Amino acid sequence: MTNSETLFARAQLTIPGGVNSPVRAFKAVGGTPRFIARADGPYMFDVDNNRYIDYINSWGPMVLGHNNQAIREAVIKASENGLSYGAPTEAEIQMAELVSSIVPSMEMVRMVNSGTEATMSAIRLARGYTGRDKLLKFEGCYHGHADSLLVKAGSGALTLGVPSSPGVPDDVAKHTLTVDFNNIDSVKQAFVEHGHDIACIIVEPVAGNMNCILPVPGFLEGLRTICDEYGAVLIFDEVMTGFRVSLGGAQERFNVMPDLTCLGKVIGGGMPVGAFGGKREILTHIAPTGPVYQAGTLSGNPIAMAAGLCALTQLKAEGFYDSIFKNTQAIADGFQQMADKNGIALSTNVAGSMFGIFFTDEKVTSYKQATSVNQAQFNQFYHSMLSEGVYMAPASYEAGFVSKMHTSDVVDATITAADKSFARITA
């Protein structure tokens, strides 16, 4: 038995499924999750002393690479003054000022502890602000695990809330409308039927939870126009895309401004942090200035603020993203070439430092396409890459993340592993 196998067996006795977040259990691909001992730069090391080039990067946050020295030092320094006060600090102002200077549409910012809290709070604010109950989301977009957002579409373009988890009451789910990503007609139709009851549209401007799907030209602009027409709030969930597809997020990259933005992952530099914010006129409806309640014992935690401030300050350096974007494109191109060489149907998508590989020969722009890929080939490829020391997400519906530390030699090693792995596919 490997050390990971021993730990996994032990973990399952006291932790449901042995993990604290389901995808870590390797259910989709089978096998034993690797228990991690440490991480550095582009690498993670498991408890059996195997080294992996990491393309999960803690599911997005580690855009600077693992164990960034400056962040580590900032955390140690902050911790010398105590770990939590539950009272305001200057670091929170610095964070709000920095975020609003970086993310174009964010005039005001409220810190929370996770992406889920950010989306949940943004939706409550949108509902409180508009006085409407319904929200519109897209099939295949994930916004955390709050009740209203754990709802998916059934068949047909528009489904009136079917919960995707037991425990989500039908009475809650019925307020969530789900339509097709990249299909503006399905959005228009929903608004024709329910427009004056819809408080908000929430969207991942680049979808990163059905692999990696870019918005087709006009899609985000179309959402903006529809929200303006019906007085609904447009929420960009940039928990994944923020500080990743460009410094200012997808809104900067595609030049479409939402009313509210949700942030998480990168903003905490690896600590548990989220944030939501946007137009001053809407944010002033939050308590204590307004009636919409939202709070958090550890929100704006001084250690988390120190880590986040240090991370964002590094990202602001001139040309910071140039090499990451170049290397991300090189990874996608390399995968494509090796798949072609080995006669495997593959297509790729790239958005800044996010990428997706799809076992299909179609260019993927929809949830339907993303879920129709060759799963058996993905699983074989996944396990071969793992055995070659490349750690990719253990499910075909997850985006890949590249960090500043994935230099060209790391990229080359990844592509060599991909060549071997495509050659081994038999399905």
Whether 279 is catalytic: no
Residue 270 sits in the site that holds ligand PLP (CB under 6 A): no
Single residue of 242, 264, 270, 356 touching ligand PLP by CB under 6 A: 264
Among candidate residues 55, 142, 367, 391, the one labeled active-site is 142
Chain length of the chain:
427
Of 92, 237, 252, 398, which lies in the binding site for ligand PLP, with binding defined by CB under 6 A?
A: 237
Of 152, 265, 279, 404, which one is the catalytic site residue? 265
Strands 354-358 and 347-351: antiparallel
Q: In Å, what is the CA distance from 290 to each residue of 47, 71, 168, 222, 282?
A: 50, 35, 28, 30, 10
Question: Does the protein bind ligand PLP through residue 394 (CB under 6 A)?
Answer: no
Q: For residues 241 and 251, what is the distance between their CA atoms, to the nearest angstrom?
A: 9
Applying CB under 6 A, does 240 fall inside the site for ligand PLP? yes
User: CB-wise, 42 or 274, nearer to ligand PLP?
Assistant: 274
Cα separation values, 2 from 9, 35, 54, 330, Å: 11, 10, 20, 34
Residues 315-344 that bind ligand PLP (CB under 6 A): none
- Phi and psi dihedrals of 37, rounded to 5? -95, -40
Question: Which residue among 142, 243, 254, 422 contacts ligand PLP (CB under 6 A)?
Answer: 142
Report the Cα 113 to chain-centroid distance in Å. Answer: 15
CA 146 – CA 148 distance, rounded (Å): 6
Active site residue 134: no
Upper half-sphere CA count for residue 153 (Cβ side, 13 Å): 20
Q: Looking at this protein, which amino acid is placed at residue 42?
A: P
Task: Say whether residue 143 binds ligand PLP (CB under 6 A).
Answer: yes
φ, ψ dihedrals at 44, nearest 5°: -125, 150
265 in active site = yes
Stretch of residues binding ligand PLP (CB under 6 A), selected from 98-106, 110-118, 290-298, 305-313? 110-118
CB of 240 to ligand PLP, least distance (A): 4
In angstroms, rounded to a whole number, what is the distance separating the alpha carbons of residues 309 and 45? 27
Q: State the sign of the Cα–Cα–Cα–Cα dihedral 354, 358, 361, 364.
A: negative
**Number of residue whose CB is nearest ligand PLP:** 115
Closer to ligand PLP by CB, 140 or 334: give it. 140
Residue 66 vs 143, nearer CB to ligand PLP: 143
Cβ nearer to ligand PLP, comparing 52 with 138 = 138
Applying CB under 6 A, which of residues 209, 327, 365, 366 lies at the interface with ligand PLP?
209
Q: Provide the minimum distance between the beta carbon of 123 and ligand PLP in the complex, in angstroms, as a whole number.
A: 12
Residues that bind ligand PLP (CB under 6 A): 59, 114-116, 119, 142-144, 204, 208-209, 237, 239-240, 264, 274
Which active-site residues does the annotation give? 142, 237, 265
